[in-house]
Amino acid sequence: MRQTITLIHHPTIALKIFGFSGATFGELAESGAYLGNIYRRIMPPSLPRVAALIEKYVDASVNIVDLRISGHNREETVKMVKWEGYDIEVKRIGAPFEYAAAAIQDSDWVGFTSHFTYESGVVRDLIAYSKQVKPSVKVMVGGADVKARPADYLGFGADLVCVGDLNPEALAGASKPTIVGPHRQRFADLIEPAFNKLAHLAEYSDSHDGPVPDGVASPIGFPYFTRGCPRECDFCESRRSEFEVLDISSAIAMLEHYKKMGVMTLNFADDNLLLAAARKEGRERVLELFRVLREWGFAWEFPNGLEIGRFQQSGTLDEQLMTAMFQNHRDPVTGRLVGAYRVYVPLETFDHRNRYKKLKPLEDQNRIIQWLAGCGIPEMNFGVVIPPDADVDTFTHIQDGYSDLKELVQSSGKVKARYAIFHLIPIALFRDMNTKYSVDDFPEGWNFYFPVYDGTHMSARELFERRLKLVRNLDPINFEGMRTGKYSYA
């Protein structure tokens, strides 16, 4: 019997913090500050792939309901949280759950993707709402946060909890709530997302790093040509996972599909794209891929970061590969940007570089950054992680390191830049650390912009306020963007 399955893109979370004093952060005393960018018009990266996969292997009709973009201007306060002397307003951004009620009622299954811990409370509540609307409906859920704590999602009421990719065969065998996987779907099965099931396809204008430059077309899609990463970075959920590269014919077929559907702007979702170019034959595939991207008029960014040290081997920059990946031009007819418009460069640390084997010596790193800043790319975003054992010297090193980097970038070209500083989230190797605010009671707090734990040398409040002072000193445009939840570049 043919099944009906509805995949639902859940609302997102916005956090606004109040309680700043005039003595320390007077400019925020009245307005408060948003903790992080608010992604209102972002395409669900996984659901179109899941929809296509299910319809390929299961006798089912699949629909997608996107609550986020349907109510992108709607904000609903769901709770207030006391945190270290501050008041935090937790808001949901998106349409009310009732918008999906009819689709849930007509479905045999509903499905959710839960990648980010800070949004997991929304997914939990949507699971409960679905069961309230139709007690017999079955719920499937997958994603990075699900993979990390699958038992929690069983506790939320899910019937099928996927540790890894969805295995379509599991839909037929799910007679009782169960955890399935890990499963890795054949890469070539994931190259044609069902964009036709997105009712608001043309409206997806958000990327993962704020508003895009002029000339970057919508919609913005999220392909990946590699998956997994063998690196050991202790804060990353993809650490030490199997690395796989999509074959070139499938990669080009995927680009053809995106182009046909009008998705001409790409956010590369790869965990470590540059590993694909580690060997000669892989490097040639990457060069061919970007040649096709340019020839067909795509624009792109690298929001997940690149292991930029791989651009230098034996003291020589791979300028051919860098040119292929980062240079851009304006189409003389349409005015659209073709090529790269933004790159995130994960610096990780200025003083504990031995913790991450991927990091090259500062001299080599800065040489690569200088080339990138001068190549004509419109925007660059840098990131440093504050570890739980941060002390006064840690913040001094960030201040000094970023000050030197700003001077290097500003002297190298006209690129706009953002100098981000992140708190470490208790994920990956840190999931078992002691926290003051639990993931059960306050999942929304498990984000990059303030800590839910005391550090080794500083309290949670002190870590937060020291980071905020650094952002104000180093990147005042970014700091000002906290009023609106849209972090900018300068």
What are the residues whose beta carbons fall under 8 Å from the beta carbon of 284, sequence distance 6 or more? Answer: none
pLDDT, mean of residues 158-182: 89
The verdict on 87 and 229 lying in the same domain is no
Contact predicate 339/299, CB 8 Å: yes
Residue 51 lies in a domain: yes
User: Tokens 């509903």 appear where?
Assistant: 110
Residue 200 lies in a domain: no
> For position 239, what pLDDT does the model report?
66
Residue 297 lies in a domain: yes
Q: For position 384, which CATH number holds?
A: 3.80.30.20
The verdict on 337 and 232 lying in the same domain is yes
Region for 458 from its dihedrals, namely left if φ exceeds 0, alpha if ψ lies in -120 to 50, beta otherwise: beta
Residue 399 pLDDT more than 70? yes
Total count of domains within the chain: 2
Residue 316 lies in a domain: yes
Residue 236 pLDDT more than 90? no
The verdict on 264 and 322 lying in the same domain is yes
Residue 80 lies in a domain: yes
The verdict on 305 and 450 lying in the same domain is yes
Select from 395, 388, 456, 465 the least CA-distant residue to 425. Answer: 388
Condensed to tens digits (0 to 9), the pLDDT of residues 87-129 reads 999 999 999 999 999 999 999 999 999 999 999 999 999 999 9
Which tokens hold the place of 479? 């700091």
CA distance 489 to 213: 10
The verdict on 253 and 156 lying in the same domain is no
Residue 488 lies in a domain: no
With bands split at pLDDT 50, 70 and 90, how would you rate the model's confidence at 237? Answer: confident
The verdict on 167 and 223 lying in the same domain is no
With bands split at pLDDT 50, 70 and 90, how would you rate the model's confidence at 74? Answer: very high
Boundary (domain end) residue, out of 183, 201, 231: 183
The verdict on 237 and 368 lying in the same domain is yes
| Bridging pattern class, strands 178-183 and 160-164 | parallel
User: Tokens 């400019």 appear where?
Assistant: 27
The verdict on 70 and 130 lying in the same domain is yes
The verdict on 347 and 298 lying in the same domain is yes
> For position 202, what pLDDT does the model report?
96
Contact predicate 24/55, CB 8 Å: no
With bands split at pLDDT 50, 70 and 90, how would you rate the model's confidence at 484? Answer: confident
Identify the DSSP state of 447. S
Residue 490 lies in a domain: no
Per DSSP (E only), the strands in 284-432 are 299-302, 312-313, 316-317, 328-330, 337-348, 379-386, 416-423
The verdict on 102 and 226 lying in the same domain is no
pLDDT, mean of residues 36-44: 91
Residue 430 pLDDT more than 80? no
Q: For position 166, which CATH number holds?
A: 3.40.50.2300
Condensed to tens digits (0 to 9), the pLDDT of residues 121-161 reads 999 999 999 999 999 999 999 999 999 999 999 999 999 99
Report how far Cα 37 is from the mean position of its chain's Cα atoms.
Answer: 11
The verdict on 36 and 142 lying in the same domain is yes
Residue type, 81: V
The verdict on 231 and 176 lying in the same domain is no
Contact predicate 8/137, CB 8 Å: no
What is the domain extent for residue 231?
210-483
Residue 327 lies in a domain: yes
Residue 428 pLDDT more than 70? no
pLDDT, mean of residues 353-382: 91
pLDDT, mean of residues 278-303: 96
Tell me which long-range contacts 326-332 makes (C-beta under 8 A, separation of at least 24): 326/372, 326/375, 326/376, 326/377, 327/375, 327/376, 327/377, 328/299, 328/376, 328/377, 328/378, 330/215, 331/297
Report how far Cα 52 is from the mean position of its chain's Cα atoms.
Answer: 22
Contact predicate 183/165, CB 8 Å: yes
Q: How do the residues of the chain divide into helix, strand and coil, expressed in percent and rounded to 5? A: 40, 25, 40
- Reported pTM: 0.94
